[in-house]
Structure 1
Amino acid sequence: MATIVMERIGRLFISLQQLRQVPRMLTEAAPSMPGTVRDSEVPCYFRERYVHAGYRPLHQNWRYYFLSLFQRHNETLNIWTHLLGFLAILMRFCQLAETVDFVRDPHSWPLLILLLSSMNYMACSVVAHMLGTKSEVCHYVFFFLDYVGVAQYQYGSAVVHFYYAVEENWHRQVQGIFMPAATVLSCLSCLGCCYGKYRNHSLPPWVRKLGQVVPSAVAYSWDTSPVFQRLFSWSAAGDDPALIFHFGQVAFFLSSVFFFTHPVPERWFPGCCDFVGQSHQLFHVFLMFCTLSQIQASHLDYLGRRTLYSRLHRSGEAALFVGMYVITLVVCAFIVAFMIRKVKHLLDCKHKSK
């Protein structure tokens, strides 16, 4: 017995020794990582209000920006919040795949769209915050990609709410227009966000924010209307386990909107939230919890409301919604391509004028 105990202690000691070498290994892997710089050393449209330091320098090699995942800078938490969110949704997807037939059951396809669109927007956000400071062009391109992720997630939210969460009376009123309208609103949201970023150099921050928030707010109100109706009739719903998660997703989303539109607490403590505590970091956290709550609510609706939604939705309707998801992605890709051309023209003019 004593021999076994000593062997286990020895193995534990070796593991701890190896763990202690990880920081040194990272340092050796990136021996010349530049330090962060202040806001005065980066272009104005890279700066965040009330965040004075922690910016990564431009025009480094790609390796630097990938390895900055392990560096302390003002985007570190923005990267890690959605990276962890992506991994959490991926794990949830693997769990659901054990009991949900995503291939042969068409009624599961809206849930699949939500899972894929959720992972896509998290991944796009990670890429934008990790690589968007390499250059001016990269900044626009990667954040345009981020807006595509947001737009297709809006469509994913719309399809699960309309397919699983809708009540019969609301379905009867919007049956032919709900998903086409959701598709158009998602594309308009992408366009509004891209245009707001494009005009970031010449418009006041509140105007840019307005261009990003208003289309997304209209899309959210439309996409979530079936959930709002469910919540308004909560007392008559009986013992519906999905409602608490629907309430959670709405509460988390509204909290995320507050921090997206209001730069607090950094406005109250300028320069003190350069690395931790920025409003955008809190926005990421609340949006991640919103998405996880939404996935759980949609899964419970998929299980508990099958009799209703299989009667409301015609045969082949799920396949149609998959096709509309692809159309949304294609249209958003064209919007981004158009806006990238405008950005390159803008930067070329700016460089020629110097």
Structure 2
Amino acid sequence: MAKDALLSSLLTGSGGAVDCVEPEKGKLGDMAYWPTVTTKDQIPDWLRDNDYIVGGHPMPTYSYRRVPWFRDNRPCSVHVCLGFSRPPPHQRRQASLWLFNRRSCICFGLSTTFHTLRSHSYKVHHSWGKMDILGICVLALGAGSSMTFYAFYCRPVVQRVYWGLNLFSALAAAVVLFDSGGGGSKMRTLRGGVFTLLALSALLPFFHTASLMGWSRARDEIGAVWYLAEGMSLLLGVGLFVSRVPERLKPGSFDILGHSHQLFHICAIIGGAFHVATLVVGYNYRRMHPSC
């Protein structure tokens, strides 16, 4: 049968043109015979991201209508953003909150689109995989620059230096990860390392200002407690993502729910909530103390 021949070609392919072959339509029409969810040994190389997840892998659908509707091991997180709840603020002190909100919407929107369409085809998978990486870099830029705004509110020169560092780090991360192809299990450690460096670059202005004003003032003026909680949440998520825990400890038990990629997304959302709490502390302090 055509289906069996095509599946055999996918199993023997090495990730080149064979892996990108589009299935022919059978007599049932509209590719209705094409399998949706299978084991790791039956998917093409470009969809194989984690060898410790045994089942629940999506097969290529080559259809935008079908990819969102079957249950597989994609991250089951729902990204909610309130980016369009009100018109843009006009006060300078509110701009930092507003910009981070918008950049979060960009990041989570691109991430949701990638994880929804990743099983469409080789070309769509890698194109949207790069958009997913771009979204992460945009969010990292938004987190670092918004924190710097309140941390060095009275030091505009230092503020701009750190903004430049945040921009350079985000662009460098995007270039490195784009060049790596944007995905695959072999690039997992590289991606994790780049994400860690992005997080550390965003932490630099916090440590700098905390050393200048002391812990007590940093806690009250820029929400230091929340910012540290954000950093710990993001580093935990990256650590789970790179180490592939818990599925590494018990392969097959976390195929659909609870694997490291989902936990990474959950940690990212929690970290974003902590960052909003940090900015709210900074905004409230500057609203009460507008002058330096």
SS of the aligned residue for 1:219 comes to helix
CA contact (8 A) 1:196 1:209 kept: no
Residue of 160, 165, 178 corresponding to 1:181 = 165
SS of the aligned residue for 2:82 comes to helix
SS of the aligned residue for 1:277 comes to coil
Report the counterpart of residue 18 of structure 2 in structure 1.
none
Matched, 1:216 2:217: no
Report the counterpart of residue 128 of structure 2 in structure 1.
142
Matched, 1:154 2:146: no
Q: Where in structure 2 are the equivalents of 1:309-324 lying within 5 Å?
A: 311=292
Q: Distance in 2 between matches of 1:182 and 1:257?
A: 19
Tell me: CA distance 1:123–1:305, structure 2 relative to 1, closer, same or farther (3 Å).
Answer: same
Q: Where in structure 2 are the equivalents of 1:1-354 lying within 5 Å?
A: 34-47=35-48, 48-68=50-70, 72-75=71-74, 78=75, 80-81=76-77, 83=78, 86-87=79-80, 89-90=81-82, 94=85, 97=86, 102-166=88-152, 171=155, 174-197=158-181, 200=184, 205=186, 208-229=187-208, 233-235=214-216, 237=218, 239=220, 242-306=223-287, 311=292
Shift of 1:259: 1.0
Tell me: CA distance 1:267–1:210, structure 2 relative to 1, closer, same or farther (3 Å).
Answer: closer
Shift of 1:249: 1.1
SS of the aligned residue for 1:197 comes to coil
Q: Distance in 2 between matches of 1:276 and 1:225?
A: 35
Q: Distance in 2 between matches of 1:259 and 1:291?
A: 17
SS of the aligned residue for 1:150 comes to helix
Q: Which has the higher contact order (CA 8 A, sep 6+)?
A: 1
Cα RMSD, aligned residues only? 2.8
CA contact (8 A) 1:189 1:219 kept: yes
Unmatched tracts of structure 1, length 5 or more: 1-30, 312-354
- TM-score scaled by length of structure 2: 0.78
Q: Distance in 2 between matches of 1:166 and 1:51?
A: 45
| Offset from partner CA, 1:44-75 (integer Å, 9 cap, x none) | 2311121111111213421111223xxx2111
SS of the aligned residue for 1:305 comes to helix
Tell me: CA distance 1:176–1:239, structure 2 relative to 1, closer, same or farther (3 Å).
Answer: closer
Q: Distance in 1 between matches of 2:219 and 2:202?
A: 24
Relative to its length, the structure with more helix (as a share) is 1
CA contact (8 A) 1:110 1:160 kept: yes
Q: Distance in 2 between matches of 1:236 and 1:268?
A: 43
Tell me: CA distance 1:238–1:283, structure 2 relative to 1, closer, same or farther (3 Å).
Answer: closer
Shift of 1:210: 4.1
Q: Distance in 2 between matches of 1:209 and 1:61?
A: 27
Number of residue pairs aligned between Structure 1 and Structure 2: 258
- The amino acid across from 1:39 in the alignment is K
Structure with bigger gyration radius: 1
- The amino acid across from 2:224 in the alignment is L
Report the counterpart of residue 338 of structure 1 in structure 2.
none
CA contact (8 A) 1:188 1:215 kept: no
| Offset from partner CA, 1:209-266 (integer Å, 9 cap, x none) | 3432344333322222222345663245575582332232122112112112211111
Shift of 1:309: 7.2
CA contact (8 A) 1:37 1:53 kept: yes
Shift of 1:196: 2.5
Unmatched tracts of structure 2, length 5 or more: 1-31
Tell me: CA distance 1:238–1:65, structure 2 relative to 1, closer, same or farther (3 Å).
Answer: closer
